[in-house]
Structure 1
Amino acid sequence: MGRSLSPQVFVLRDRAGKRALILQDEEYTIGRSSKCSIRLFDPFISRCHAYLRRIDRGNGQFHYLLVDGNTEGHRSANGMFINDAPAQSRLLRVGDVINFGPQVTALLWKAHDIPTAELELLETAFTRAQMARKHSETRLPVGVVAKPPTELVGSSHQTPQ
């Protein structure tokens, strides 16, 4: 399977903090459920809120299609916004800002746009949050403190910090 020349990075902010995942797989499920491959920590998020599907473009490059709802076609309860516009699905582009809920934001970046040390820290934070699967559907991982909403949603066009 083809890989993007510079891998795409999904940077998340929610009640569990900021974290990132380098996108490589064919498909990712996104939601509050511990069964999701990208777990979001917020009670306004559906158990299966959305999914990402990789679309190969050839020449070693690919995009991700983001679709509201689960893989069986059931939409999420609260929907999603991409670049401040309601969306049911969209082929994502670098720089897109996705809002899954009032305190849950994701940004799509290229790996080379994020300093290596910071990307490693964000990936470690992602792994720790995902390991919280044994906790209840809405509890935060042990040691994670909920941040006020103003710290969770930054400017929609700023680079990751």
Structure 2
Amino acid sequence: MEAASTDRMSDVADKQLLNHALIVKDRNGPKAYWLTAEVYTLGRDASNSIRIDSRFVSRQHALLYRVSDSNGGFFYQILDGDPNGNPSTNGLYINNQRIDFFDLQHGDEIRLSSDVTATYITTPKTFDYILSTYERTKIAG
């Protein structure tokens, strides 16, 4: 019984130690964003916390919200549209399915337009490791 308890404690510790990143690929090439804040806005307007360089992306295209999970860790949920609830013009796709909102998991592919994709990464590895994994990726933010 003690092994199961130790395993659960290890799972909780592992979830808390995960680093979250978003690798965005737009006209300027791939950029890595280290996700630590409660909320991020994504879109082509300069006021967004994650600015996307594409005329096919709405000014305020999507929102990322940090959500606590039952194991003491967290994940990010993505929502289509702006903070006022208005949907983006061209929609939001996760793993090739159109969505209004989605609980992101490691490796999910996000498509904001025909020329912009992003990958959600969760890993215990360092930011330098993530950058070395994604060829020609720059640090953003």
Q: Structure 2-normalised TM-score?
A: 0.79
Q: Does 1:15 align with 2:20?
A: no
Assess, with a 3 A threshold, how the Cα gap between structure 1 residues 38 and 115 changes in structure 2: closer, same or farther: closer
Amino acid at match of 2:35: L
Please name the residue that 1:90 is paired with: 102
Query: Paired residue for 2:116?
Result: 104
Residue from 76, 79, 96 that aligns with 1:67: 79
Q: Distance in 2 between matches of 1:97 and 1:109?
A: 10
Q: Any idea what SS the aligned residue of 1:53 has?
A: strand
Deviation at 1:59, TM superposition (A): 4.2
2:6 corresponds in structure 1 to none
Distance 1:110 1:93 in 2: 8
**AA partner of residue 47 (structure 2):** K
* Structure 2: unaligned runs, 5 residues or longer: 1-14
Q: Which of structure 1's runs of 4+ aligned residues deviate more than 3 A?
A: 111-115, 120-123
Greater share of residues in strand? 2
* Whole-Å separation in 2 of the counterparts to 1:114 and 1:107: 16
C-alpha displacement at 1:71, in angstroms? 1.1
Q: Which SS does the other structure have where 2:36 is aligned? A: coil
CA distance in 1, matches of 2:115, 2:125: 24
Superposed CA RMSD in Å reads 2.2
| Identical counterparts, % of pairs | 33
Asked if the contact 1:5–1:60 (Cα under 8 Å) also holds between the matched residues in 2, the reply is: no
Separation in 1, partners of 2:78, 2:130: 25
Q: Give 1:64's aligned amino acid.
A: Y
Aligned partner of 1:47 in structure 2 is 59
* Deviations 1:6-28 (CA, angstroms, capped at 9, x unpaired): 11110110001101111110000
> d(CA) in 2 for partners of 1:23 and 1:118?
13
The one-character-per-residue Cα deviations of 1:21-61 (angstroms, maximum 9, x if unpaired) are 11110000000000000000000000000000110115441
Contact 2:27 2:115 in 1 (8 A): yes
Matched length: 124
- Cα distance change of structure 1 residues 84 and 114 upon mapping to structure 2, 3 Å threshold: farther
* Distance 1:114-1:84 versus aligned 2 partners, 3 A rule: farther
Structure 2 letter corresponding to 1:95: G
